Amino acid sequence: MNRKTIKLNSVWMQELTWQDVNEYLKKNDIAIIPVGSTEEHGPAGPLGVDSYAAIALAEDIAKQSGVLVTPPIWFGDSSHHSAFPGTISLRPTTLIEIIKDVSKSLARHGFKKILIINGHKMSNLPALTIATKELHEYELHDVFFGIIDPWKIARKISTEIKSTNEHHSGELELSHVWYKYPRLIKKNKLTTKKVNFEKIFSKYSNDDLFGGGGELIDILWNSYEQRAFAPTGSFSASNKASSEKGKKYHDYMVEVVVDFIKWLKTYKGPIGNTVPKK
Ligand SMILES: [Zn+2]
């Protein structure tokens, strides 16, 4: 824990008083916003997999770095999963507006460095990128924004851990939730089956979010098509998932981001000073 950080009972802002946050802001200016989704994750994973991933990472990173976390955003852009009950999706424009409103509320009181931890991988990234790019350019010039995603910070470790191709409801993300929230994974529903992407979407598709080196062409599918090609909701084999794998995956990502925040605390903008205003 950063010694400069005052003693607070929680890293979660919803568990603190406004005066706690006020004290925090006298010496600190970093906030983490965890963003996930509420969408089907096959027969073995709960609807909240992506949110739990973001929450678990945010909490452990915040504890080790001495920074605060906002309440999680449990919904994301999940339209392509909408053919499954329980999926609750935001339109990208709604997610953009939520990120903007939360960020502006934080900035108003002195948070200057905002990190979004996204558990929903590429499905949320377009909205998160548009929201933060527009804020940083047009409204909050002097606020730093960073977007953190397992898809990008676990590239190296994922290939060491996983035994098969990782896509939606795969071995890695289910292991992650298994490690942190073991009661939420239905172990007897883990599967050996996977969607044959090449057969459905040509050889220019990729069924491994953490690998695959070929040329890619993005083909968009809707929720009706998804329910047809992945009737259980699972895209990847998950039978080799385990709590141990989840721990290795989680700890590695926490270490990466804690190291990043150590750097961020000293960062004063790209020209070595505060980011210029208009
Ligand atoms: Zn997921």
- CA pair distance 162, 66, nearest whole angstrom: 31
Q: Would residue 277 count as lying in a domain? A: no
Residue 143 · residue 135 · CB < 8 Å: yes
Q: How far is the CA of 1 from the centre of ligand 1 (A)?
A: 30
Q: How far is the CA of 37 from the centre of ligand 1 (A)?
A: 8
Q: How far is the CA of 41 from the centre of ligand 1 (A)?
A: 6
> What is the DSSP annotation of 23-53?
HHHHH--EEEEEE--B--BTTTB-TTHHHHH
Q: Would residue 217 count as lying in a domain? A: yes
Q: Would residue 6 count as lying in a domain? A: no
Q: How far is the CA of 208 from the centre of ligand 1 (A)?
A: 13
Q: Which residues pair with 133 in a beta bridge?
A: none
CATH of residue 45's domain is 3.40.50.10310
Q: Would residue 81 count as lying in a domain? A: yes
Q: Would residue 278 count as lying in a domain? A: no
Q: Would residue 274 count as lying in a domain? A: no
Q: How far is the CA of 131 from the centre of ligand 1 (A)?
A: 21
113-118: strand order across its sheet: 68-69, 30-35, 113-118, 144-148
Task: Please state whether the predicted TM-score (pTM) of the whole model is above 0.85.
Answer: yes
User: Is 140 buried (19+), middle (13-18) or exposed (0-12) by CB count in 10 A?
Assistant: buried
Structural domain count of the chain:
1
Q: How far is the CA of 263 from the centre of ligand 1 (A)?
A: 29
Full pLDDT tens readout for the chain, 278 residues? 444 456 899 999 999 999 999 999 999 999 999 999 999 999 999 999 999 999 999 999 999 999 999 999 999 999 999 999 999 999 999 999 999 999 999 999 999 999 999 999 999 999 999 999 999 999 999 999 999 999 999 999 999 999 999 999 999 999 999 999 999 999 999 999 999 999 999 999 989 988 877 899 999 999 999 999 999 999 999 999 999 999 999 999 999 999 999 999 999 887 665 555 55
Q: Would residue 270 count as lying in a domain? A: no
Q: How far is the CA of 22 from the centre of ligand 1 (A)?
A: 35
Q: Would residue 68 count as lying in a domain? A: yes
Q: Tokens 């903007």 sit at which residue?
A: 100
For 224, the domain range is 13-264
Q: How far is the CA of 82 from the centre of ligand 1 (A)?
A: 14
Q: How far is the CA of 49 from the centre of ligand 1 (A)?
A: 6
